[in-house]
Structure 1
Amino acid sequence: MNILSKYKVIWLAVFVTTFVSCSKSFLELSPPTSVSPETALSTENDLLVATRGMYAGLRTGPSIGATSYAPDAFGRTIPVIGDVMADNGYQSSLNTNRYTLYNNYSFAVTDANALGLWTSLYSVILRANNIINAPIAASANVNQAKGEAYAVRALCYFTLVRYFARPYTDDPNKLGVPIITTYNADLKPERSKVADVYTLIVNDLNQAYTLMTIYTNSSQFSKYAAKGLQAKVYLTMGDMANAKTAALDVINNSGFNVVGAADNTAYWNNTSIRLDKMETLFEVSSDAVSNLSFDALAYLYSQAGNYGDFLVASDLYALFSANDVRRSLYPQGQRPAGTSVVFINKYTGLAGDRSDTKVLRMSEMYLIAAEASVATNETDARTYVNYITSRRNADPIASTGTALYEDIINERRKELAFEGDRYLDLQRLKRTVVRSTNYTVRNIAYTNYRRILPIPQTEVDANPNIKPQQNEGYQ
């Protein structure tokens, strides 16, 4: 089914399943013509219930009948491939064959994870669209819900366009992804230009920033989480002036704080959503009831879980100085017996209130401000990046020019490791993926067609307008 045909089946589930906090139970759906989105979302309470369903979709993706793409949203696939396709994490010789095709760059148009990522995020976009377009009188709560929906829609499109299209910094007039902002079950959309997708993203985040006035917790978008996402969007576009302005708005006005060295390990061991504005601007949450169980991110990485499939690349581990508190998140061990490796222990929640997936953190705002300052004010750049090194007991950065820029990129690599950012950084910088000897597939040029994902075959088969727009190399 294409993304709009699938909407006919799934959109009603948005509203019904959230009444039970989006638990894993399934239900018999009514025919899609039985009720319109406008009728289903007619009160403020309806809107708030739908908002919970929208956030649940970011974790799990849709599950319809016997077909499930549950791990393929932010709950696992998105953060995993952001490091596995790069140079941070490699597949252990003892593995469960998860993401092997991404570790080896051998995925094809029928790849299930690419399909799941595509379907999951367009399903969340549907949910966000229905909230945004709901004809409900404005109030503080309604404005907040709609602002959060704008931010979530922006996040989904930002993720889709970076994985299924060449970077904005390559050519903004190349094909991006289909833009859908209203419910139309019969629409078969073409791919929009990359520039148009980014215009929608920036405009959505401006709307989000204007509408939102309430801070609830780290599992929901807030005004400054939206501004933080916008800083990241501008950075990806190469718009350093606006990236710095947005990042500094968060740094100076949000009330969020960067976690310090003494609390860094405890921060990552904490599996609960945060109420204190400490570090986490936005995360996709799990709890004892609503989680991915054995498909969760922690299980894939942790040796205490069932899998422990991926390990820390040797060149990444070598970047951490002996006193750097982040190094303790990556303990040394043996897998298999007799083979010395470095484990990923950033996610420790394996039961009960599970580890949440960090999407935006305060530390990244300083790193964005630093990178955005290099060309115009190196003093500022060093000030912002060393705000982070000082809170990790890491060696301060004193370099200049090109070396300073590379030091900031390396600091991003260390700070955001295994949060899904590294590959997307290499994409926006149009750099070859240069991997250590831990990998079988070592160097992947920026021009390699598999540096972007294929439009899923099921989408191509169902949508004649997108069929001739398949990414190069996958036809």
Structure 2
Amino acid sequence: MLKKLLLIGLISLGFYSCDDAIDIVQDGELNDERLFTNVGNMQMFLNEVYDRVSVQNDIMVSSLLTDEVGLGSAGFANDTQRFFIFSTNGYASAIWSQHYQAINYANRLIRGAQLVNPTTPADITAYNNILAQARAIRAFCHFQLLTYFSPDMSNNNAPGVMKMDYVPTIQQLNPRATTGEVFGLIESDLLFAENNISTATTGTDSWKYFNSNTINALRARMYLYRKNYVLAEQYADAAIANGPALATCTFGNSANIPQTTSVIPPYTAGQVTALTAMEAAAASATNAPLYRRMWVDQASAQGEMIFSLGRLNNNANFGSQYNTNQSNLGGGPLFDMGRTLFDLYSQPLGGGAEDFRRWSFVDRTSTISATPATATKNGEVIVIDKYPGKTGNAGSNDLKVFRTSEMYLIKAECRARANDLPGAALLVQQVRQARNYIAAGIVPLPVYGSNMAAYADILLERRKELAFEGHRYIDLKRLGADAGVTSTDRYPQDSVNASATNPANINVTDYRFTLPIPQNEVTVNPMSQNTGY
């Protein structure tokens, strides 16, 4: 650890030398020649690259700019949640800077690697694997930037973002490339990664690093957004075949959970007892559903995680973005679950099946109003419990990036695009069945009378399954119109002083479904702004 901290400090000296001495080698400066001397140092630098990757702000933008959250009992009016988006928006700026910082670190590693000359077979393999991970990270970050800042990811000529495959100088201007040009770099990076990566795909923490499974999942999502449904399905199939199975939601026999009765809101005394038992069982590898243990980051519970960004205890507390301290009523909820989303979880899945996501994502201390239309901010507080924290450390969770359920829903959409409606229905049914906790419950097979009906059901299932993971924002933009969904679906009480100038919902074609290029970037690096800002 001491060696790592020393390395970080020396790196900082090298990266941030004084402007008036840019071309002078300072005493003690750790430049590329001194740092990149062997594969071991490359690996240490790669660890720092991973530390710079985050989707925290991406997830929050998706929650706030759609219909996932309402203002919590401890929260204050938030411009983003009120749809007040300008070029100075803090979340847009954070997404931009966070991903470009990670790209910069990856580029420095890629440049520095040219100074290393591995000779043994083991070092050559490690060297190529490090570069493959660095380029996969660079591809992922560019893709995230396009997701939020490109007006149309399926149009190669649409304005994109900065294409950064080099380490820029302080004075250098970096133009805004087209979406097609940036995707060209992404595909080149992923091809290199595919051919050179050797990171383990199974074993302890294997899902916290880029490997061949992660690359399949990234490509599946990327080609879905690109509207290349043939390739999207191809890579979704590969991710399903080679990755973890759907996580189950059934309990161990000794858990005191009612597996033969419905759980319908509001909570009753008996249901609170059952929920308490479920929460106690969450720390048990024997009793708790794998799906729940996955969300509390049990060391042995990869579940259906294809890729997560690892966060150590006390290192980062993403849960505090929704709840100040802990994910319960006394933990200071800043944003609670939107009522329309809660109502979806409360609906039976059919066939005697019940949706475990209601149990897993809503804390039992929540206050559920029987009259939500007239409830005050404190009268109904639906506490978000999707990020409860690791065992014994409230709020500190790994950030889930790719999961097997998403791959099923990507394939379902691709089947619907190919006019295979029964095939799409079967995939949606499989996801729903995996979320059932009633022992004898069998989720019925959906029947779609049209492509639009299939898209609508897939969008619905994505809304429930992938909530609070950063998907809803882009899903409404790219799939809403095809599914017959015209706007966000926010419950009136979840809006802050809704009015003509502060609407409760916005249309899926609204310009705010593309974020503004941050003003602090445009000021120093002139480039075209997105429409509407």
User: Scaled by the length of structure 1, what TM-score is found?
Assistant: 0.83
Equivalent position to 1:330, from 338, 358, 362: 362
Distance 1:236 1:205 in 2: 16
Q: 1:213 to 1:305 in 2, by over 3 A?
A: farther
Please state how far the C-alpha of 1:294 moved relative to its aligned partner.
Answer: 8.2
- Give the aligned partner of residue 446 of structure 2: 398
Please state how far the C-alpha of 1:374 moved relative to its aligned partner.
Answer: 1.1
Deviations 1:372-404 (A, max 9, x none): 111322232223222211111183342223322
- Give the aligned partner of residue 66 of structure 1: none
Contact 2:160 2:182 in 1 (8 A): yes
Answering whether residue 148 of structure 2 is matched by residue 159 of structure 1, we say: no
- Give the aligned partner of residue 306 of structure 2: 281
Please state how far the C-alpha of 1:184 moved relative to its aligned partner.
Answer: 2.5
Q: What letter corresponds to residue 235 of structure 1 in structure 2? A: L
**Percent of pairs identical after alignment?**
26
- Give the aligned partner of residue 344 of structure 1: 384
Q: What letter corresponds to residue 178 of structure 1 in structure 2? A: M
Please state how far the C-alpha of 1:27 moved relative to its aligned partner.
Answer: 9.2
List alignment gaps of at least 5 residues for structure 1.
Answer: 1-15, 59-72
- Give the aligned partner of residue 416 of structure 2: 374
- Give the aligned partner of residue 473 of structure 1: 532
- Give the aligned partner of residue 318 of structure 1: 343
Distance 2:6 2:477 in 1: 36
Distance 2:321 2:193 in 1: 29
- Give the aligned partner of residue 253 of structure 2: none
Distance 2:326 2:473 in 1: 18
- Give the aligned partner of residue 455 of structure 1: 517
- Give the aligned partner of residue 52 of structure 1: 47
Q: 1:38 to 1:245 in 2, by over 3 A?
A: farther
Distance 1:53 1:305 in 2: 36
Contact 1:87 1:433 in 2 (8 A): no
Q: 1:27 to 1:52 in 2, by over 3 A?
A: closer
- Give the aligned partner of residue 211 of structure 1: 196
Equivalent position to 1:424, from 447, 469, 474: 474
Distance 2:403 2:71 in 1: 27
- Give the aligned partner of residue 356 of structure 1: 398
SS of equivalent to 1:359: strand
SS of equivalent to 1:324: coil
Q: 1:421 to 1:326 in 2, by over 3 A?
A: same
Distance 2:377 2:530 in 1: 42
Equivalent position to 1:172, from 120, 134, 156: 156
SS of equivalent to 1:192: strand
Q: What letter corresponds to residue 442 of structure 1 in structure 2? A: A
Q: 1:383 to 1:311 in 2, by over 3 A?
A: same
SS of equivalent to 1:94: coil
Please state how far the C-alpha of 1:51 moved relative to its aligned partner.
Answer: 1.1
Highest Rg: 1 or 2?
Answer: 2
Contact 2:221 2:232 in 1 (8 A): yes
Contact 1:94 1:336 in 2 (8 A): no
Distance 1:300 1:26 in 2: 35
- Give the aligned partner of residue 250 of structure 1: 239
Contact 2:246 2:304 in 1 (8 A): yes
Please state how far the C-alpha of 1:433 moved relative to its aligned partner.
Answer: 3.3
Distance 1:366 1:21 in 2: 44
Q: What letter corresponds to residue 271 of structure 1 in structure 2? A: D
SS of equivalent to 1:405: helix
Q: What letter corresponds to residue 488 of structure 2 in structure 1? A: V
Contact 1:17 1:53 in 2 (8 A): no
Answering whether residue 445 of structure 2 is matched by residue 411 of structure 1, we say: no
Please state how far the C-alpha of 1:289 moved relative to its aligned partner.
Answer: 4.8
Q: 1:383 to 1:337 in 2, by over 3 A?
A: closer
Q: 1:389 to 1:125 in 2, by over 3 A?
A: same
Deviates more, 1:366-375 or 1:283-292: 283-292
Deviations 1:183-209 (A, max 9, x none): 131421110111222222223222222
Q: What letter corresponds to residue 467 of structure 2 in structure 1? A: A
Answering whether residue 97 of structure 2 is matched by residue 119 of structure 1, we say: yes
List alignment gaps of at least 5 residues for structure 2.
Answer: 251-288, 349-353, 369-374, 437-441
Matches within 5 A, 1:93-132: 94-96=74-76, 100-132=78-110
Distance 1:18 1:385 in 2: 49
Deviations 1:2-48 (A, max 9, x none): xxxxxxxxxxxxxx99913999x999624265454455323111111
SS of equivalent to 2:336: strand
Deviations 1:96-154 (A, max 9, x none): 45xx1210111322223322221111010011122233223462222222121122111
User: Scaled by the length of structure 2, what TM-score is found?
Assistant: 0.74
Distance 2:432 2:70 in 1: 26
Q: What letter corresponds to residue 471 of structure 1 in structure 2? A: N
Q: What letter corresponds to residue 325 of structure 1 in structure 2? A: F
Question: Which structure 1 residue ranges, 4+ long, deviate > 6 Å from structure 2?
Answer: 25-28
SS of equivalent to 1:427: helix
Please state how far the C-alpha of 1:460 moved relative to its aligned partner.
Answer: 1.2
